[in-house]
Amino acid sequence: MSGKLYLVPTPIGNLEDITLRALRILKEADIILAEDTRTSAPLLKHFGISAKVYAHHQHNERQATAEIIKFLNEGKQIALISDAGTPAISDPGFYLVREVVKNELPVECLPGATAFVPALVNSGFPTDRFCFEGFLPIKKGRQTRYKFLADEERTIIFYESPHRLLKTLEEMITYFGEERQVSVSRELTKMFEETVRGTVTEVKNYFETHTVKGEFVICVAGKPEVRNENQKKYKNGIAKF
């Protein structure tokens, strides 16, 4: 009987956000694959989880996958975790899942923590249709991506690091317009959680004089729809408060 690969979400900040099922799977696993074993060690220790932990990140994912498939064929139960949130969402995991599926071995993804869902719901922007972009390309392809998304009518979600936040907001003014509505969330579920809403210009001005630390999720309202020549553009966004 083959084993199973479990994709296990871990808290993005508040340890209370881990699920009972996630704890059970991690405690029962023969092997835990962690994006960074040093980052995951305090979490596993906190919950008394003592399974074997191996590093599984973007630099070794392809080389390690063959051995992981071998372990699954031997009946091992393997859990994959990232540093925070759901594996394979802007984190390692996609390649491994694809190869496990190709080998007709079972994969099970647990529901749980991820940063973009609370940021989206808390933004006040439409949630019935949205697109998740994750991190923009750092250099090559960045401008092309902005131009492609400028006419997107759905809510757009980005991840961003603190040292690129102001640059990204400045670029959004250039490509989306200074009046486009945005909602920027940082340090979700943590002590200094904060969400700032307003036009992209207002939000950029805010972070120029306030703390720019932690992980950021940027939600951008879709391009306003032009109903007809006699009506103003309909804005999806909300006023800053």
Residue 229 lies in a domain: no
Are 65 and 85 in a shared domain? yes
Residue 231 within a domain: no
Question: Is 186 inside any structural domain?
Answer: yes
Q: How far is CA 189 from the centre of its chain?
A: 14
Residues 11 and 93 in one domain: yes
Residues 95 and 145 in one domain: no
Could you tell me the residue range of the domain that residue 128 belongs to? 116-220
Q: What is the CATH number of the domain that holds 149?
A: 3.30.950.10
Specify if 42 maps to a domain: yes
Nearest to 136 by CA among 205, 207, 203, 217: 217
Please report, for the domain that includes residue 55, its CATH number. Answer: 3.40.1010.10
And the tokens for 43? 């979490």
> Is the domain of 96 the same as that of 129?
no
For 141, residues 6+ apart whose C-beta sits below 8 A from its C-beta are none
* 8-state DSSP, 85: B
CB 238 within 8 A of CB 197: yes
* pLDDT score at 233: 42
Question: From residue 231, how far is each of 69, 85, 125, 155, 179 by CA, in Å?
Answer: 59, 43, 21, 22, 18
Q: Identify the pLDDT of residue 226.
A: 52
| pLDDT tens for each residue of the chain, 241 residues long | 789 999 999 999 999 999 999 999 999 999 999 999 999 999 999 999 999 999 999 899 999 999 999 999 999 999 999 999 999 999 999 999 999 999 999 999 999 999 999 999 999 999 999 999 999 999 899 999 999 999 999 999 999 999 999 999 999 999 999 999 999 999 999 999 999 999 999 999 999 999 899 999 999 999 987 544 444 443 444 333 3
Count, residues in the chain = 241
Per the structure, how many domains does the chain have?
2
57 DSSP 8-state letter: -
> How high is the pLDDT of residue 231?
40
Q: Is residue 240 part of a domain?
A: no
84-120 as b/e: b if 16+ CB within 10 A: bbbbbbbbbbeebbebbeeeebeeebbebbbbbbbbb
Boundary residue ending a domain (80, 109, 138): 109
* Residues with Cβ within 8 Å of residue 54, at least 6 apart in sequence: 31, 32, 33, 34, 37, 64
Please report whether residue 175 resides in a domain: yes
Tell me, yes or no, whether 134 and 97 share the same domain. Answer: no
Give pLDDT, residue 211. Answer: 87
